[in-house]
Amino acid sequence: MSYTLHRGDALTVLKTLPDESVNAVITDPPYNSGGRTSSDRTSRTARAKYVTSGSAHDLQNFPGENRDQRSYRSWLTELLTEAYRASTEHSVAMVFTDWRQEPTTSDALQMAGWTWQGTIPWIKPASRPRKGGFKQSAELITWGVKGTLNKDRDIYLPGHFIASQPRKDRVHITQKPVEIMQQLVQICPEGGTVLDPFTGSGSTGVAALREGRQFVGAELSSHYAAVAERRLQAELSQKDFVLAGPEA
């Protein structure tokens, strides 16, 4: 398996991709949530929004967390439109979101041409409680398809996932568990190409390589692009080692 990691703005990179060159889109964009008011959502950093006060880790911020609701929908629609163009027929797009932005995300997905297929909950047991109310324990994955699902594929994937965010060796504020991403990338045909325009620390790419898929990513932050590059290279090296087998 191989990968290509572009360093730069997601929309700029997407516009350079050939038509029908990828087979699945799986991504976690900066969805500009984490605030009850427009000011909260547009004036605070990602770390201020998504990291509990007093947290022991000191992970770096990431860009793109300053859009209000209208500009976020317009921006996401343009991104998903380019992703649609770059995807083959029957490709699936999966976009992480939360309860605040799920309606906007499903709007953008459909405005870009994808046929909305539903919303998948990711339940996080180790999530923050809410005094006097219900625990906020779910992140959501809005998904759609270009055209129709490929009914020739003999594959059945779960409709929800349960896993906490990585704690050991965590390298990104919103890092996703590789074990969940390994299940998600199976929506891409084996040997096909998974696209993630917001690569972050590279979890989608690691999962794709691990499951026998190619990977194309983009990352604007030079810090996180370097982190992703290291993780992707390590995954390829590990696979090479495993394929070589034990010494005689």
pLDDT tens digits for 115-152? Answer: 999 999 999 888 778 899 998 889 999 999 999 999 99
Residue 22, SS3 per DSSP:
strand
Per mean pLDDT, which of 34-43, 47-56, 159-168, 191-200 is the most reliable? 191-200
Task: Say what the pLDDT of residue 53 is.
Answer: 46
Task: Say what the pLDDT of residue 37 is.
Answer: 56
CA–CA gap between residue 32 and residue 97 (Å, rounded): 10
Task: Say what the pLDDT of residue 163 is.
Answer: 87
Question: Is the per-residue pLDDT at 241 higher than 50?
Answer: no
Task: Say what the pLDDT of residue 173 is.
Answer: 64
Quick one: pLDDT band at residue 29, thresholds 50, 70, 90?
very high
Task: Say what the pLDDT of residue 126 is.
Answer: 80
Question: Is the per-residue pLDDT at 68 higher than 90?
Answer: no
Q: What is the CA radius of gyration of the chain?
A: 18
Q: Which is higher by pLDDT, 162 or 170?
A: 162
Residue 44, SS3 per DSSP:
coil
Give the pTM: 0.82
pLDDT digits (tens, 9 = 90+) for 69-128: 788 899 999 999 999 999 999 999 999 999 989 999 999 999 999 999 999 999 988 877
Quick one: pLDDT band at residue 177, thresholds 50, 70, 90?
confident
Q: What are 135's two structure tokens?
A: 């625990």
- On the CB side of 190, CA atoms within 13 Å amount to 5
Kind plus residue range of the DSSP H or E element containing 234 = helix 222-244
Task: Say what the pLDDT of residue 31 is.
Answer: 76
Quick one: pLDDT band at residue 4, thresholds 50, 70, 90?
very high
